[in-house]
């Protein structure tokens, strides 16, 4: 029990700290590095939930690919003078209001589920996930590969030098 | 730990993501905030799977699909950002008025 609590609170602290740094830091490259930290914290939350395959996929795809891709693109964009410009718009009060209203609703919902305690010990999930992907979800699995192919072609098309 | 703790964490990450998406001026900053919101949804899916349906893996499968679609989304989004930057030499969203006519 106490191990569960330590895992949850440490990983939640990492994820939330990284997320706050993502939205507040002025330098976009620092934001991207904080995003990597936050995504690694979320991976730790998945591990605490017993989702072992999701933990590995999160580290491989999000931390290893998406965060690094964002850092690469940030190195191609922008100028040095961006560091002295304001990085947030003037709508922060309205945004804070929206967040407060949404937050009250979300935390009331979370409180409804507060009594549901720990379930049975978790088992390895890779084999059941593979059976599900190639069984019930095989159509979604094939469709998502088509989506990835379309994204690949779209990225090549849009980033080509003679693109419209 | 109860399900409520994980849902509260997911909600907090989602709120931080919404705040970033509404206030950042840099288009890549907005994309990063959207990634935070995807992660909040994935935490909720994995938590519901773990606490309410301990033997099953359907929630994790859905989270995997979300990770895949998020990867596709960020790849196309960053390619579009590069194309816009080549045309208008800015990364700030209030300067993106190519379609205004």
Residues A25 and A78 in one domain: yes
Best to test chain A binding among B6, B14, B16 (most A CBs inside 10 Å): B16
Q: Which residues contact B59 (CB under 8 A, 6 or more apart)?
A: B45, B46, B48, B49, B50, B53
Confidence (pLDDT) at A14 = 96
What is residue A87's predicted lDDT score, i.e. its pLDDT?
A: 77
Shared-domain flag, residues A13 and A66: yes
For A81-130, how does the pLDDT look when each residue is reduced to its tens digit (9 = 90+)? 677 777 778 888 999 999 999 999 999 998 888 878 776 677 888 999 99
**ipTM confidence:** 0.91
Which residues lie closer than 8 Å to B15 by C-beta, 6 or more apart? A99, A102, A103, A106
Domain that holds residue A134: 124-164
Where helices occur in A77-122 by DSSP H, the ranges are 92-112
Q: Is residue A12 part of a domain?
A: yes
Same domain (yes/no): A2, A69: yes
CA–CA gap between residue B66 and residue B75 (Å, rounded): 14
Q: Which residues of B touch A106 (CB under 8 A)?
A: 7-8, 11, 14-15
Q: Is the pLDDT of residue B89 over 60?
A: yes
Give A120 or A6, the one with higher predicted confidence. Answer: A6
Q: Could you write out the three-class secondary structure of A127-156?
A: HHHHHHHCCCCHHHHHHHHHHHHHHHHHHH
CA-CA distance, A142 to A147, in Å (whole number)? Answer: 9
Whether residue A141 lies inside any domain: the answer is yes
Q: List the 37-96 stretch of B: residues with Cβ below 8 A of A.
A: 39, 42-43, 46-47, 49-52, 54, 56-58, 60-61, 63-65, 67-76, 78-83, 85-86, 91, 94
What is the per-residue pLDDT across B14-63, written as a single tens digit (0 to 9) for each?
Answer: 999 999 999 998 899 999 999 999 999 999 999 999 998 888 889 999 99
Look at residue A116 and tell me if it is in a domain: no
Give residue A137's pLDDT.
93
Give a yes or no: residue A105 inside a domain: no
Tokens at A106, concatenated: 């979300």
- Alpha-carbon dihedral A35, A41, A43, A44, rounded to 10 degrees: 170
Residues A34, A109: Cα–Cα separation, whole Å: 29
Residue B15 confidence (pLDDT) = 95
Residues A152 and A76 in one domain: no
For position B62, what pLDDT does the model report?
A: 94
pTM summary value: 0.91
Domain chopping of chain B, boundaries: 3-95
Beta pairing partners, B92: B26
Q: Which CATH number is correct for B3-95, 1.10.287.3510, 3.30.70.260, 3.40.190.10, 1.10.10.10? A: 1.10.287.3510
pLDDT for residue B63: 94
The mean pLDDT of B68-97, rounded to a whole number, is 88
Tokens 């998502």, residue?
Answer: A144
Instruction: Determine the Cα–Cα distance for residues A54 and A67; give it in Å rounded to an integer.
Output: 17
Domain boundary among A34, A66, A83: A83
CA-nearest residue of chain B to A86?
Answer: B25
Q: Do B19 and A23 touch (CB under 8 A)?
A: yes
Q: Is residue A114 part of a domain?
A: no
Is the pLDDT reported for residue A43 higher than 70?
A: yes
Res B13 pLDDT > 90: yes
* CATH number for position A53: 1.20.120.1200
Q: Give how many domains chain A has, as a whole number.
A: 2
Phi-psi region of B8 (alpha: psi -120 to 50; beta: other; left: phi over 0): alpha
Identify whether residues A65 and A141 lie together within a single domain. Answer: no
Higher pLDDT, A84 or A71: A71
Choose the final residue of a domain: A27, A51, A83.
A83
Looking at residues A14-25, what average pLDDT do you find? 94
pLDDT of B22-34, one tens digit each?
Answer: 999 889 999 999 9
Which pLDDT belongs to residue A96?
92
Give start and end residues of each alpha helix (H) in B24-97. 27-52, 58-88
Q: Please answer yes or no on whether A113 and B69 come within 8 Å at the CB atom.
A: no
In terms of domains, do A58 and A136 share one? no
Report which DSSP code applies to A121.
P
């Amino acid at each position: 029990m106490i191990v569960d609590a330590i895992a949850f609170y440490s990983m939640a602290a990492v994820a939330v700290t990284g997320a706050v740094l993502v939205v507040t830091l002025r330098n976009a490259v620092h934001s991207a590095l904080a995003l990597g930290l936050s995504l690694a914290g979320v991976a730790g939350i998945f591990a605490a939930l017993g989702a072992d395959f999701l933990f590995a996929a999160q580290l491989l795809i999000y931390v290893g690919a998406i965060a690094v891709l964002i850092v690469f693109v940030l190195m191609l964009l922008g100028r040095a003078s961006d560091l002295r410009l304001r990085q947030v718009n003037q709508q922060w009060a309205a945004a804070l209001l929206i967040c407060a209203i949404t937050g009250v609703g979300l935390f009331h919902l979370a409180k409804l589920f507060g009594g549901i305690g720990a379930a049975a010990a978790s088992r390895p999930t890779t084999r059941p996930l593979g059976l599900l992907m190639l069984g019930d979800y095989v159509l979604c699995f094939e469709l998502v590969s088509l989506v990835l192919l379309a994204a690949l072609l779209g990225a090549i098309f849009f980033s080509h030098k003679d693109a419209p | 730990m109860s399900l409520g703790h994980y849902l509260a964490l997911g909600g907090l990450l989602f709120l931080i993501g919404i705040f970033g998406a509404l206030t950042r001026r840099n288009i890549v900053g907005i994309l990063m905030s959207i990634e935070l919101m995807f992660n909040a949804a994935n935490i909720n899916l994995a938590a519901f799977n773990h606490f309410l349906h301990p033997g099953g893996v359907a929630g994790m499968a859905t989270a995997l699909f979300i990770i895949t679609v998020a990867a596709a989304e960020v790849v196309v989004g960053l390619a579009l950002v590069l194309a816009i930057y080549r045309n208008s030499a800015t990364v700030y969203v209030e300067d993106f008025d190519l379609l205004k006519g």
